[in-house]
Structure 1
Amino acid sequence: MKQFIFLFVVAVMLGGCKKTIKKIQEETAETLIVKAITDGRWTVTVYTDGTTDYKSEFDGYEFQFKTDRTVDAIKNSATEATGTWNEDKVNIAIIADYPVSAAVTLQRLDGNWKLKDSNWTWVKAQQTINGTLFTLELRKK
């Protein structure tokens, strides 16, 4: 009987350790991802709304993502508008929102962008709105 209780206690402890290790791994991964996003400025290299190319509207803009989940749209060395961003871990997406007072170009970035491919210096994302596929690619400067 004592052996059974000992094995039960060890099994519970190991299960708790595995959960703790998994939690630490998830928190470390999240920290690295947020660091990659917030370290440096980003530019738009592709933006299409269905078959319409709007990339040229983003020429001159740089985007600085911050750890407080805000993002500055910078043009000609001045912050033109500040929006918000947040990660959607379940759907592997980034949710962006600029205020209605921001330029229409910046409001094009609003929405739930599903990440399709990425590395530490570029991101490809898509979202579908009313049956239209939007494509966005960002590159770190």
Structure 2
Amino acid sequence: MRSILAIFGLALTLTGCAKTIEKKAEDAVLEAMTTGQWYVVEFRENGNDITTSFSPYSFQFYRDGSISALSTAPAVNGIWFGDPNARTITTNFRSATEPISKMNAVWAIKDNSWDYVKAETTVDNNFRFLYLKKK
């Protein structure tokens, strides 16, 4: 009986540790993404470089899950979600037109650091590559 209780107690402890680790990973993603503004270094769609379409914009990610595409025109607002376990970032600018609407996707993070993210996605059979860098 004691060994069953010990195993149950260990299982609870490990579950708590896993949740703590997951929370710390989420906090790290939030800290990295929400500190400073980001700009597009490179954006390719099906191999075509359309980076210059994004040159007027910088992106501000907020802790509440909102995101703004900032330029001299009024900001374009949307939502974002980072999943450190799946290594994805989801962005959705609901009312955006191109080029900002091309950001609407679940992006698989291929490479990243505190000041850059390289990600890929496929939307409607269009392969997209995104390289964001912090200002």
TM-score (norm. length: structure 2) = 0.90
Aligned residue for 1:67?
Answer: 63
For the residue of structure 2 that corresponds to 1:108, the secondary structure is: helix
Counterpart CA distance in 1 for 2:21 and 2:126 is: 37
1:61 CA displacement = 1.1
User: Is 1:92 the equivalent of 2:92?
Assistant: no
Aligned residues: 135
The answer to whether residue 121 in structure 2 is matched with residue 139 in structure 1 is no
Partner of 2:75, secondary structure, is strand
Q: Deviations over 1:23-42 (max 9, x none)?
A: 11111111111111111110
Within 5 Å, which residues of 2 pair with 1:49-68?
49-68=45-64
Runs of 4+ deviating beyond 3 Å = 88-91
Report the structure number with the largest CA radius of gyration: 1
1:105 aligns with 2:99: yes
Aligned to 1:34: 30
Unaligned regions of 5+ residues in structure 1, if any?
A: none
Q: Give RMSD over aligned pairs.
A: 1.6
Whole-Å separation in 2 of the counterparts to 1:79 and 1:73: 9
With the length of structure 1 as denominator, give the TM-score of the two structures: 0.87
What secondary structure sits across from 2:64 in the alignment? coil
Contact 1:72 1:79 in 2 (8 A): no
Pick from 90, 109, 112: which aligns with 1:115?
109
Q: Is contact 1:93–1:115 with CA below 8 Å preserved after alignment?
A: yes
Q: Which amino acid aligns with 1:129?
A: V
Tell me the alpha carbon deviations over residues 117-137 of structure 1, each in whole angstroms, 9 at most, x when there is no partner: 111110001111343311001
On the 8 A contact 2:26/2:82 being kept in 1, the answer is no
Identity of aligned residues (%): 27
The CA deviation string for residues 41-78 of structure 1, in whole angstroms up to 9 with x for no partner, is: 100001011121110111131100011111011113x6
1:80 to 2:78 alignment = no
The answer for unaligned runs of 5 or more in structure 2 is none
